[in-house]
Amino acid sequence: MGRMRVLVVASLLLNLFLAGALIGGTVWLKGGHRMIAAGALRVIGSELPRDERRAFRTNLRQARASVRPLIVDSNAAKAEAARLLGEPVPNAVAIKASLARARSNDARVRAIVEDRAVDFAATLPQTDRQSIANALISRIRKRDR
């Protein structure tokens, strides 16, 4: 009977924890908290009014879709580097070459997406551009702390 009691108590505690997490998450989301950790540009775009924010995010999605082959190749290069690193005798030159390819692709992806974001932002009213600029400055300051 003691074992059953422990299982019931453990089950009750788990259910209580899950219910608390569900309630806390709901309260947090309804409290109007903005999205975090979703990419710097997307977070910065959260400062825009609703219609511009949607258009901005659509623009970012389209930009990322246009560079999907680069992202796939970057991931393949990272996987290749990991595979090579795990071999009995690692080939440092080949590993570095794979990582260099991944880095190059990552930089190209970032440049293309940022260019598209700037092109979009340049079409916005000055007040919206200023709110994006302020969010960017704030993000930089937080990162430098």
Q: Nearest-CA neighbor of 44 among 110, 139, 125?
A: 139
Both 115 and 134 in a single domain?
A: yes
pLDDT digits (tens, 9 = 90+) for 49-78: 888 888 888 888 899 899 999 999 999 999
- 26 and 45 fall within a common domain: no
Beta-carbon contacts of 45 under 8 Å, excluding residues fewer than 6 positions away, are 53, 56, 57, 60, 117, 132
Helix/strand/coil for 59: helix
pLDDT at 38 over 60: no
Spatial CB neighbours of 36, under 8 Å, sequence gap ≥ 6? 43
Residues 18 and 81 reside in one and the same domain: no
C-alpha dihedral sign at 126, 132, 134, 137: negative
Q: What is the pTM of this model?
A: 0.65
The total of structural domains in the chain comes to 2
**Claim to verify: residue 96 and residue 49 sit in the same structural domain:** yes
Segment 83-102, tens digit of pLDDT: 999 999 999 999 999 999 99
- Which residue has better confidence, 112 or 18? 112
- State whether 70 and 110 are in the same domain: yes
10 and 73 in a single domain? The answer is no
Average the pLDDT over each of 2-16, 109-123, 126-140 and give the range with the smallest value.
Answer: 2-16
Average pLDDT, the chain: 83
Nearest in space to 98 (alpha carbons), one of 115, 111, 79 = 79
18 and 48, same domain (yes or no):
no
**pLDDT for the residue 36:** 39
- In this structure, the answer to whether residues 15 and 54 fall within a common structural domain is no
Average pLDDT estimate for 32-42: 51
**Which of residues 121 and 32 earns the better pLDDT score?**
121
Question: 75 and 14 in one domain?
Answer: no
Q: Which residues constitute the domain of residue 5?
A: 1-33
Residue 140 and residue 91 share a domain: yes
Give the model's confidence band at 34: pLDDT under 50 very low, under 70 low, under 90 confident, else very high: very low
State the DSSP string of 93-144. HHHHHHHHHHHHHHHHHHHHHHHHHHHHHTTS-HHHHHHHHHHHHHHHHHHH
Higher per-residue confidence, 119 vs 10: 119
Give percent of the chain above pLDDT 70: 87
Q: Which two tokens stand for residue 91?
A: 């080939």
